[in-house]
Amino acid sequence: MPILTDIRMGIGVISNAIASWRARRRVQEFVDAHPWPSADETEIVVHFADAPVNLYQIRQWYAPLVELSRTHPVVIMARSPLAMMTLAQESPLPVVYVRKIVDLENFVASREPKVALYVNQNVRNFSMLRFGRLWHVFINHGESDKAYMVSNQFKAYDFALIAGQAARERLSRTLWGYDVAARTFEIGRPQADHFAGELPYAPDDRTVVLYAPTWEGDRESMRYGSVSSHGETLVKALLQTGRHRVIYRPHPRSGIADSEYGAASKRIVAALAAANADDPTAQHVFDDRPELGWQLAAADLAITDISALVYDRLATGKPLIVTRPLSDAAEIDEGGYLSAAEWLTAAEATDVVAIADRVLTSDEAHAALEHWVSWYFGDTTAGAATARFRAAMDALMVRWAAADAADAARNG
């Protein structure tokens, strides 16, 4: 038996070595097929050090970055081999693989980018931050009132692009010694200018309601998910009116920690299918595609849990309702927008139709929404945020040219 065990272990080691060799070969083939862009094609770089699980953080920036690249060429720098291969296949922008520090050194020295952008706070960002002759800019991957949004790590970057006045006050209130006025640019949410996609239904006079709950959470303080507490009830009520179209977009992790939560989600999907079978013109949608954008823009009303989706929807300037967690242990920061959100409790889920009608038609509700949209994102007119993003990058290029000229004068 010991001999057989040793043989099996040996086979396992050999199999793992072969798999590792094949993976390295695939990576090298990708690298060979995607040579580094020239220096003229590398004015701005996006440093992405994460694994594929966090690719959503950079995907939402594709469209604004493509617009920016028309005047300032943009290149994505990937540090993870699997993320690099995915990015190389899907990204509309050039991708380079710089796994090692020496790769970073060679790329920065030979291409001399002027600006490096960062969409998250990955610890490996610091290996890129050591280069001094370019601006390092934190652009984040969303807007919210979470603690992440006031991390002291903001100080590691030369500048940060923030959404609006809410972010400015949040940073001023929390970070000691951080000159918010000098080191931030307010740009709104450029991604919202590009919330688009082909609709999976033919628009008509139905009121479109997006219900996009989060997952159940893995601890009491994070139990924001509403599928089993609110979801089945509110979806049933909307399906019965004959004047609503429901887009149901559950979190992909729904049911991971609580099988009943996942079962409730499946029952909602079944209810949508049954309603469509009874009335094919209803065109209710179960949306499990990875792309997020058209749903937020197309819906007349959104119902979501406490999550980043609250702020993504707010950036569109369109009405939304936030479900109040059933658990008293769920942590709710009721400062900012959540201090005045249109809340929906589990007990009120049966009255969702009347509540939705009020939120959609009330002048008071509209005025409150406009206040919070402006507070968080400024002008949400189509194209305004993208224009502010471009203006911020133009300003950084001017600053880079001034710093470079000052360097040349000192060393000349």
Per run of 10 residues, the mean pLDDT along the chain (length 412 residues) is: 61 56 65 85 97 91 97 97 93 95 96 97 95 97 86 96 96 96 97 90 97 90 93 98 98 91 97 98 94 92 94 95 92 88 97 98 97 96 96 98 93 78
Give the integer Cα–Cα distance in Å for 227 and 266: 10
Buried b (16+ CB within 10 A) or exposed e, 109-126: eebebbbbbbbbebebbe
> Two tokens at 19?
């798999």
pLDDT at position 5 is 63
pLDDT at position 330 is 87
> Two tokens at 42?
């590398």
pLDDT at position 142 is 87
Radius of gyration for the alpha carbons in the chain, expressed in angstroms and rounded = 24
Answer yes or no: are the C-beta atoms of 77 and 107 closer than 8 Å. yes
Q: What phi and psi values does residue 163 have, to the nearest 5 degrees?
A: -75, -45
Answer yes or no: are the C-beta atoms of 315 and 377 closer than 8 Å. yes
pLDDT at position 9 is 62
Q: Alpha-carbon torsion 68, 74, 78, 82, what sign?
A: positive
Q: What phi and psi values does residue 184 have, to the nearest 5 degrees?
A: -130, 155
Give the integer Cα–Cα distance in Å for 279 and 37: 53
Mind spelling out the 3-state secondary structure of the chain?
CHHHHHHHHHHHHHHHHHHHHHHHHHHHHHHHHCCCCCHHHCCEEEEECCCHHHCHHHHCCHHHHHHHHCCCCEEEEECCHHHHHHHHHHCCCCEEECCCHHHHHHHHHHHCCCEEEECCCCCCHHHHHCCCCCEEEECCCCCCCCHHHHCHHHHHCCEEEECCHHHHHHHHHHCCCCCHHHHEEECCCHHHHHCCCCCCCCCCCCEEEEEECCCCCCCHHHCCCCHHHHHHHHHHHHHCCCCEEEEECCCCCCCCCCHHHHHHHHHHHHHHHHHHHHCCCCCCEECCCCCCCHHHHHCCEEEECCCHHHHHHHCCCCCEEEECCCCCCCCCCCCHHHHCCCEECCCCHHHHHHHHHHHHHCHHHHHHHHHHHHHHHCCCCCCHHHHHHHHHHHHHHHHHHHHHHHHHHHHC
pLDDT at position 291 is 82
pLDDT at position 2 is 64
CA atoms within 13 A on the CB side of 235: 32
Give the integer Cα–Cα distance in Å for 166 and 280: 44
Give the integer Cα–Cα distance in Å for 12 and 124: 32
Give the integer Cα–Cα distance in Å for 122 and 116: 14
> Two tokens at 281?
């013109």
> Two tokens at 408?
């040349």
CA atoms within 13 A on the CB side of 127: 18
Q: Is 299 exposed, middle or buried (0-12, 13-18, 19+ CB in 10 A)?
A: buried
pLDDT at position 13 is 56
pLDDT at position 61 is 96
> Two tokens at 312?
């993504």
Q: What is the pTM of this model?
A: 0.86
Answer yes or no: are the C-beta atoms of 317 and 299 closer than 8 Å. no
pLDDT at position 366 is 97
